Structure 1
Amino acid sequence: MSGISRINTSRAARWWRSIDRVTLICVGILIGFGYILMLAASPAVAVRIGASRDMFIFKQVCFLILAALIVVFTSMMSLRAVRLAGWIGFVLALAATFMTLVHGIEIKGARRWIALPMMSVQPSEFLKPFFAVVTAWLLTERQTRRYFPGMLVAIGLFALVLLLLKSQPDIGMLSVITTVFLTQLFIDGLSLFLVGAGAAAMVAAFVGAYMVFPHVRSRVERFLHPAVGDHYQIDTALRAFGNGGLLGRGPGEGRVKDLLPDAHADFVFAVAGEEFGMLVCLFIVGVFATIVIRTLLKLLHENDPFITVATAGLVTGFGLQAFVNMGSTLHLIPTKGMTLPFISYGGSSAMSVALTIGLVLALTRNRPGEGRYGQFGPPSSSQKAPS
C-alpha cells in the first residue's frame, strides 16, 4: 500500500495517503496481541465454566475482525459525517443505557447489560466516544453562532449521563466520562480554576460513592488495607508478574489463567506478564502511549477547534481506560472491572474502542482544502443566518 501512486485518486488511495499510518499500525499490533492472549487465556476459563474450549476464542476473533472493519470504515468519514454519527450514536446509546435500568441483566448488583443472541451488550461503552463528539460540537459551535447555549446543553447532557450511570451503578464508567468532559472543557478554554473546581467535585462524588455503594467501599478498603478483605485476584495477578520475570515462562506455560475467573478479561495483562514477561508488557504500554502521545502532538498543529476538542476527549478516554486496567492489575489503583482496549475479551468493549480509534483517525486525517464544514467549505454569506 505504501507504493500507491500519487495520481491514483480512488477513495482507498486518498484515505491511505491521508491517514495516520503509525497509529493504524499500533492498532493492528494491539489487535494481534488480543488474539494471541485470547489463545493463551480463554481455553482454561471456558473449561472451568463447562463450555467449549474454543468458545471465547471464536467469539473474540469475530469481535476483533469486526473491530478492525469498524476502525477502517469509521476512519474514512468526513467531518460532517463524524458530527452526524456522533449525535445519532449518542441518542441511541443513551436510550439503550436507559433500557438497562428496565430490562437489563443484573450482575453483581449492577444493571449494565442487555441480552442479545450470542452475546450481551453494555450500551454505556458506546456513550464514551459519542459523548466526546457531541460535547465537542456543542462547546465549539458557540464560537461561530451568537447566543448558542452550547455550554449549558453540554452540561445538561453530562448531568443526564451522570444520572443514568449512577443508577446502574457504574462508577468507573462515570469517572472516565467525567474526566473526558473536564479535559474537553479545559481544552475549550475553561479557566484552570473552574477545571480544578470540577476535579474537586469529582473527588467529593467519589467520597460519596465510597459512603453509599458497598462494592466501592470494599474495593477501596482492600486497596488501602492489605490485611482487610479478599485479595485473591490481586495477589494471584502480582505473583503472575513475578513468575514471568523479564522474558516470561513461555506461551501456554502460565498458571494464572487456571486460577483467575477473569483471566481473559479484566486480568489479561497478568497473563501477558506471566507468559511473555516484563519486556512484552512494557512494549504493550509503549504501544498505548504511542497512540495517545502521537495523537495529542498532532493536535498542536490543528486549527479547527472541533477537531481539537473532540480528539482530545476521545484519546483521553482511550488512554484512561488502558491505564485503569493495567494499573488495577498491578495494584497501583483500586480494582475496577474495565477492559484493556483491543486485548481483553468483550464484544462491547472491542467495538466501542474501535469506534473511538476510528473517529480519532477520521478527525486527524490530512484534509487539504477541507475545513470544519466538510469538503465544500463554509456556507456562503447568502446561506448564513442573519445575526
Structure 2
Amino acid sequence: MNHAADHPAVTLRNVRVAARHVALDLSLAPGRTLAVVGPNGAGKSTLLQLVAGLIRPDAGEVLLGGDVASTATHLTPVHQRGVGMLTQRSLLFGHLSVLDNVAFGVRARGASRQAARERAGAELDAVGLAELAGRRPHQLSGGQAQRVALARALATDPTVVMLDEPLSALDVDAAHHMRSLLASRLRGTTAILVTHDPLDLWTIADDVLVLEGGRIAQHGPLDEVAARPATTFLAGLLGTNRLVGVAASAEVVTVGAAEVVGVPATADPPLVGQPAMALFDPAAVVLHPADDHPHGSARNVWPIEVVGVEPRGPLVRVRCRLDDGQLLSADITARSAATLGVVAGRDSTGAVRLLASVKAAQVACLALGDRRP
C-alpha cells in the first residue's frame, strides 16, 4: 500500500535541545524504518518529539523531505506535518465504534463521512479486524486495540510513522502478531520505532540508531550495527541468538554443516535457496555432555565448543561456537554449568565440547537481507 516515493527523508541537522542535553545530527532515508534504542534518558522520546513538532530545537533544523519543519524560530504545527504516532497505549475514543475511531483522522482532514468510513474499513481489513468494526474499545483485547490504533494511524496516509514502544504493553502472543503486522504494513514507509526488544530490530527495522546521554553512539544498517555493537547497552540488547545461513525450506535454515529447524515468520518467511536467519532466546538453549545425545522433542541438536562463561545473577550465560564459527549463547543455572564443567570454560584436554539443543517451536526463521521492496 505504501511506496518509498510517497515518504520523505527525515533529517536532523546539528539539532540541539539544551534543557535535555541532546545533540543530534542524522538522516533517515525515505521508505526505511529506523529503530531507536538506548538506556532510559538517552534522548529517544526527545527525538520523536522533535520530528513530530511537539518541541522546538534550540539550534539546528529538522527537515521532512526538503522542507524545514523546525528551527529555533520556526515550528510547523503537528497537524501540518503529516506524521502518525503509535504509542504503548492505544488511546482509542471510548465513545466511538472501532470503525469510527479509525475514520476519525480521515474525517478531520476533510473527507466525507462515507469516504472516511470506506477508508477506515479498508484499513481494518488490512489489520485483520474488519469483523470488529462495530465494537467499542472496551470490548477489545489489548492486542486488538493496538491493531485498531495502527489502522487509525495509517488511515491518514502519514508521511512519517512514529512508534513509541508500541508492543511493550502486550502479552507475548499479541506482541508476536503485532510485530509481524508492523513488519508487513511498514514496508516502504519512512518510520521511526523506539524499542527495547531485539526481536523488533530483527523483524521490523532497516537501520538502528543507538543513543546514549543525548548523543548518537552508533547509527547504520541493522546488520552492520549488530556485527559490531559500539555500546554495552546494545550488546546486551542484541542477546537474542541469531544464526545466518541459507533456507532449505521455510522452516529449515542450513547453517554450515548444521540445520536449524524453526517456525517461519508470518512476515518475511525464508525463501528456498536465499539467505535466511534463525532467531531464538538464550534461555531456550539446553546444553548436554558431548557423549549424551538428548532425548525428547528438541528438533535442533548441534555440537558446540564453549568459548566463554559469564555469571548473570542466578544464571550463567555460556557463550558457544558452532563448527562453522557462528556464536550462540545459552542461559543455564550455575549448578548445570558446574555439572557440565564449563565454569572455567576449559578442561584438561582443551576446549569444552558439548551438545546444544533447542525446540523448533522456540526458533523463528526469517528471510535475511533487505526486506523492503
Question: Is TM > 0.5 for Structure 1 vs Structure 2?
Answer: no
Normalising by the smaller structure, the TM-score range is: under 0.3
Larger helix share, 1 or 2: 1
Higher RCO (C-alpha 8 Å, min separation 6): 1
| TM-score between the two structures when normalised by the length of structure 2 | 0.23
Which has a greater percent of strand? 2
Q: TM-score, normalised by structure 1?
A: 0.22
- Larger Rg belongs to: 2
